[in-house]
Homo-oligomer: A and B are copies of this chain.
């Protein structure tokens, strides 16, 4: 039994390790064009921020450790073709500059995603980075030491995390988001709140501009030194990071006839099987089913990658297992502000054919007299006719994250607001008010449900 895995960051590394545990005698190879394997890509902004000094802290498992388990990691080996008809792959050794074929019994595609790089003049200048791989992390952190200012293109998760990282490192930061809202995974009203709350703690350390597109970088052989926007702004900068989103790495899959889904990522069934026999896919290159809407989504997140890698390995190794889909749960923080979401936003609920009602509460996360009480804003979304809970968003200096997990569980179980409002949540003054903000919001949302009789 020969299991070949393409890609080795999260899903690929997990699939390899799980396969080894399931089939002690299988031959297992990981091919990756990357210079590192099995690392915490999600941790890169936190390394750049200075939460720890050594980038090696991000490495979960080295090629040597994999080798001890009989898993062979081939770094800087780019798979350039899949030949399903003869169950072989064509591999380019990027250092030796040669190519060879390898056969597989089961192939697991975990090629991940890559940063989307918008068309900006002079974007190839030095000191303009993307944030994806270990080398990016090392280079960015290195450059910080000789920089006073940084520009961020894009205000999604990574852009917001990089904002914190640069600010904590003492840089003056400017973030440009071409759309009208940063954090567009949230409903517009919540995204506005995020922006307002962030700017309220800026203290002249950073600026955020929305509806503003960077159209040109200026610079010389030393690298970037300025940026110009469509709105006519010009800024002197020492470095820039492009955080304008990611695209799934699916070229290899398309080329061999693997079907993509409507999201543009690889379509797999609940066993993580592609449409070609003995080829599985998992991680940031595949689309998922949203459990709430039943519709395809693309959620390239480390938590999903990990679970999908496990399920792909189990099925590839002959141990049937299902991946039930995702809720779209995600969280990040920026300078003490937590932003968390699960399920459908109100906008997504409408798009999915629901008739949503929502309520937004702003409450203390603990009893108000506790010295460390902080406010959180919670938005709850439910279907007007059935009362089915559809999603929630939490923002604030207080504990807005784990409450979203409480809600995620309600979505998983397909609870209605009426069922959820009876939840018995823990109470003590250092942890929550007598009526938790979640239940408070649910009580209000109850009044907006209008079942058709």
Query: Do A58 and B304 form a contact, CB below 8 Å, given A43-B429, A408-B425?
Result: no
Measured CB to CB, the nearest residue on chain B to A306 is: B434
Measured CB to CB, the nearest residue on chain B to A370 is: B51
Residue among B404, B408, B425 making CB contact with A303, cutoff 8 Å: B425
Chain B residues, Cβ within 8 Å of A43: 367, 369, 429
Chain B residues, Cβ within 8 Å of A325: 424
Measured CB to CB, the nearest residue on chain B to A52 is: B369
Chain B residues, Cβ within 8 Å of A259: none
Over the window 409-441 of chain A, the binary record of Cβ atoms lying under 8 Å from chain B Cβ atoms (1 yes, 0 no) is: 110110100011011111111110011100000
The answer to the question of A46 belonging to the interface, with a C-beta cut-off of 8 Å to chain B, is yes
Determine whether the beta carbon of A430 is less than 8 Å from that of B333.
Answer: yes
In A223-245, which residues have CB < 8 Å from any B CB? none
Determine whether the beta carbon of B419 is less than 8 Å from that of A412.
Answer: yes
Residue among B301, B328, B423 making CB contact with A412, cutoff 8 Å: B423
In A32-74, which residues have CB < 8 Å from any B CB? 40, 42-43, 46-47, 51-52, 57-58
Chain B residues, Cβ within 8 Å of A277: none
16 A-B residue pairings within 8 Å (CB atoms): A40-B434, A42-B428, A46-B370, A301-B427, A302-B434, A306-B435, A324-B422, A330-B427, A331-B431, A338-B431, A402-B403, A404-B426, A405-B406, A408-B424, A412-B415, A413-B415
| Interface size of A as a range | 35 or more
Determine whether the beta carbon of B301 is less than 8 Å from that of A431.
Answer: no
Please name 11 further chain A to chain B contacts, defined as beta carbons within 8 Å, in addition to the given A40-B434, A46-B429, sorted by A numbering: A40-B367, A46-B370, A57-B369, A303-B426, A303-B434, A330-B426, A342-B424, A405-B405, A406-B409, A407-B409, A412-B419
CA–CA, A435 and B309, complex, Å: 12
The answer to the question of A274 belonging to the interface, with a C-beta cut-off of 8 Å to chain B, is no
In A314-330, which residues have CB < 8 Å from any B CB? 323-330
The answer to the question of A10 belonging to the interface, with a C-beta cut-off of 8 Å to chain B, is yes
CA–CA, A338 and B426, complex, Å: 12
Within the complex, what minimum Cβ distance (angstroms) separates A338 from chain B? 8
5 closest pairs, A vs B, by CB? A402-B402, A413-B413, A303-B427, A331-B426, A327-B424
CA–CA, A47 and B58, complex, Å: 43
The answer to the question of A371 belonging to the interface, with a C-beta cut-off of 8 Å to chain B, is yes
Residue among B303, B404, B409, B426 making CB contact with A340, cutoff 8 Å: B426
The answer to the question of A399 belonging to the interface, with a C-beta cut-off of 8 Å to chain B, is yes
Determine whether the beta carbon of B291 is less than 8 Å from that of A424.
Answer: yes
Chain B residues, Cβ within 8 Å of A429: 40, 42-43, 46
The answer to the question of A332 belonging to the interface, with a C-beta cut-off of 8 Å to chain B, is yes
Determine whether the beta carbon of B408 is less than 8 Å from that of A423.
Answer: yes
CA–CA, A285 and B427, complex, Å: 18
Residue among B403, B407, B427 making CB contact with A42, cutoff 8 Å: B427
Residue among B291, B302, B436 making CB contact with A427, cutoff 8 Å: B302
Determine whether the beta carbon of B426 is less than 8 Å from that of A369.
Answer: no
Over the window 247-276 of chain A, the binary record of Cβ atoms lying under 8 Å from chain B Cβ atoms (1 yes, 0 no) is: 000000000000000000000000000000
The answer to the question of A346 belonging to the interface, with a C-beta cut-off of 8 Å to chain B, is no
CA–CA, A404 and B431, complex, Å: 12
Within the complex, what minimum Cβ distance (angstroms) separates A88 from chain B? 32
CA–CA, A417 and B2, complex, Å: 33
The answer to the question of A401 belonging to the interface, with a C-beta cut-off of 8 Å to chain B, is yes
Query: Do A419 and B413 form a contact, CB below 8 Å, given A51-B370, A52-B369, A401-B431?
Result: yes
Determine whether the beta carbon of A426 is less than 8 Å from that of B367.
Answer: no
